[in-house]
Structure 1
């Protein structure tokens, strides 16, 4: 097996004295894990930061063997780690992707969405400029793994207009009329999720509450505590940013 491709660095686990097992997201080969010699050394440590774009060459004698890899930096997102909120967002998006996806399964839409999300975090002057992209990425990941929400029409009436809420049990949309008797029991459905475009701070936080419910229920229940903690950090910092806006 030999793969040469661009990739996004997701996670690094120390292995041996100086090396590490690195997880990366690739456009055509999905999540890949490989041993990188000297990964914790002075030269490669800044190359293997989560979110970095790299050129990676993976090779293994058999498909079941852990690949060996060489890595070259294409674009560094290191400066983002100097700011608490972008750093928390990168940590969350990377750890979620690394822990949720099965290895070697192609998810080209997720790769493009993750690359777009990280690019938005890098380019936007404020988190309000990328908060909606984070919500959309979480929704796409849920969908790609078979836990997508059904937001096309109301679960009760079948109508496809005035959809304002989502059932926390079924993940199906509910219209304003049908949602009224269940106020406080349903999850809010922000308009930007259905219509696209930008989102206000309240809508971003509502979107994160919506996706967070299904992520924690369906994907992160048996994962390490650090994954859930990473999301808690980014949500809390977004709430603070919203309060200061």
Structure 2
């Protein structure tokens, strides 16, 4: 019998048989991991299994390759804390949907785990989370092997004054390099390159940028449009929030 225990961020839940559920959790050392929760659809347990919840999980299986089963203890619920904050709740759903669909199964990604849990906590505390979510999407592209090249201009080689990104190549472009093609390029907000300040417009531009490359590079690898639909719903909610 194989057994391990860890803190896990609940990413998704789906019915399994008449009473059980299969859950996906993101753990620091085990990566994204699935397992069966016996009685997961019961009145007692189902309310505890909401995506975004932090759980203390124990996984058991006869051999490593089996689906295995989870037992769990709830540590904290996040969705319940965000019921009156539509934008934050939509963003929590998007984070769980994207991580659940995009991250490789059983591949330890401690930096991704730490970054994702920190973002989910920020959603609950209201700590500048729209910019942090844009940075999370930007980092996710890199984590999945689709990172953007923003260090220098693809045309001139310049390393300063890079206001654009090519929507085709994902490389930065200077004003000089853009020339008459500037209106066909995507704005590059400075905070994605390390600037401290991010205005509301910067966050909107960042989400437009990351959304473009998620659709171009990641969506074709997914089994359904559900994760990107959740992500686009979060972007719309954030844009409304920042426009008020």
TM over 0.5: yes
- 1:19 is the counterpart of 2:20: yes
Distance 1:158 1:206 in 2: 23
Q: CA deviation at 1:54?
A: 0.8
Distance 2:153 2:97 in 1: 33
Normalised by the length of structure 2, the TM-score is 0.94
After superposition, residues 51-200 of structure 1 pair within 5 angstroms as 51-77=52-78, 78-124=80-126, 129-200=128-199
Distance 1:139 1:156 in 2: 22
Distance 1:35 1:198 in 2: 44
- The DSSP-based 3-state class of the residue aligned with 1:216 is helix
Q: CA deviation at 1:106?
A: 1.0
- The DSSP-based 3-state class of the residue aligned with 1:2 is strand
2:158–2:174 contact (8 Å) kept in structure 1: yes
Deviations 1:145-188 (A, max 9, x none): 11011111111111111111111111111112212321221111
List runs of 5+ in structure 2 lacking aligned partners: none
Q: Give the count of matched residue pairs.
A: 241
Alignment correspondent of 1:209:
208
Distance 2:181 2:62 in 1: 58
Alignment correspondent of 2:37:
36
Distance 1:81 1:219 in 2: 29
Alignment correspondent of 1:234:
234
List runs of 5+ in structure 1 lacking aligned partners: none
Normalised by the length of structure 1, the TM-score is 0.94
